Amino acid sequence: MTGWTMKNAETVTFGGAGFDRADQLRKDANKLAQLLDDPDSRVLPVWRGKPLMCGSDHVALAFLSPDHTVFDDAREAPVFLGMQEGAAFFARDTSPWKAPEQDIDRVGEFADNSQQRHPALPEDQYFGELRLNMAHLSARDAELAAMSVGVFAWHRNHRFCARCGEKSNISTGGWQRTCPACKAQHFPRTDPVVIMLITSGNKVLIGRSPHWPEGMYSLLAGFMEPGETIEAAVRREVFEETAVKIGKVGYLASQPWPFPSSLMIGCWGEALSEDITIDPTEIEDALWTSREEILEAWANKIPTLVAARKGSIAHFLIKNWLSDTLS
């Protein structure tokens, strides 16, 4: 794989569509207030991490006017996302709304296919799990959904000042929290994660977590540690999980992953051996599989080998490896 580059790296889901975040407006409270008074401004409701969507085969985000009654339950100000064609886009957390009890049993699960419908909205609009719908969204909608879900997850988990413990306040258009006591400023964080396409000849190394759906396998991945390079993290994570030693390592593509706040750094690596000894505290299983076996699995001919979810960088990297479009 020496010298490989990804020709279409930025076509990965959440890879972005060039949306203008207009960060120069975030500190202009008066301008943001004017934009929120503008009926042409669009606001995306997000309920418990699930953005408002519409459609089934052709899924799209559903934006509302800033004064829509859906936002009557919101407790925090909207987050400013940016501008497009002269219109302002915001997102607002509507999690305080109480959805019907029968609709929330699966909320938060890995495979949450439940849909919550607000009584003030049309029947074809619903709060849907982003991971199940991400591959169906346009590049623009996927980018805005990732921004919104990610920033609300950060706010949800960082309500109190990490320095003194005081409850902090949202500021800068939703992209900062400021402590009223010690004046510390806190900004959204992103946790780097390496995800690896490890190959040996015609085979790729895949593994599975015990928390995944039955039979689902994906590429190995793990969080980077302080003081660690990407290359070192790739070698360490693969060895920790499978005892497979890695030689050459290179970068392929990246993907924002707002579940809750990761940046997936896609890499390739050349295995120096194929002997696997899994660490059961890390993964449930790992195996080498050939291109032909993966193609059969993706054609649903191997029920015990389920592909990584469409829209994930794992699926993206494997698909490009299968079609020889990594170079």
Single out the residue of 203, 227, 205, 207 nearest to residue 215, CA to CA. Answer: 207
pLDDT confidence of residue 327 = 62
Sheet containing 185-186: give its strands across.
169-171, 176-178, 185-186
Residue 4 pLDDT exceeds 60? no
pLDDT confidence of residue 100 = 85
CA atoms within 13 A on the CB side of 30: 0
pLDDT confidence of residue 7 = 59
Residue matched to tokens 């959204």: 188
pLDDT confidence of residue 104 = 79
Q: Where are the alpha helices (DSSP H) in 56-138?
A: 130-133
pLDDT confidence of residue 239 = 98
Amino acid, single-letter form, for residue 273: S
pLDDT confidence of residue 112 = 87
- What number is the average pLDDT over the span 247-265? 96
pLDDT confidence of residue 241 = 97
3-state SS string over 158-209? CCECCCCCCECEEEHHHCEEECCCCCCEECCCCEEEEEEEEEECCEEEEEEC
Q: Render pLDDT for 55-69 as a digit per residue (tens, 0 to 9).
A: 977 899 999 999 999
- 7: region left, alpha or beta (phi > 0 left; psi from -120 to 50 alpha): alpha
Contact status, residue 260 vs residue 157, Cβ threshold 8 Å: yes
Please, what is the average pLDDT of the chain? 93
Helix (H) or strand (E) holding 236: helix 230-242
- Bridge pairing between strands 50-54 and 42-47: antiparallel
- What number is the average pLDDT over the span 193-213? 95
Which domains are assigned to the chain? 23-157 (3.90.79), 158-189 (no CATH), 190-322 (3.90.79.10)
pLDDT level of residue 2 (50, 70, 90 thresholds)? very low
Q: Render pLDDT for 137-189 as a digit per residue (tens, 0 to 9).
A: 999 999 999 999 999 999 999 999 999 999 999 999 999 999 999 999 999 99
Residue 6 pLDDT exceeds 80? no
User: Could you give the 3-state DSSP secondary structure of residue 27?
Assistant: coil
Other beta carbons less than 10 A from residue 93's beta carbon: 25
Q: Render pLDDT for 210-240 as a digit per residue (tens, 0 to 9).
A: 988 889 999 999 999 999 999 999 999 999 9
- What number is the average pLDDT over the span 121-135? 95
- What number is the average pLDDT over the span 238-253? 97
pLDDT confidence of residue 142 = 97
Residue 271 pLDDT exceeds 70? yes
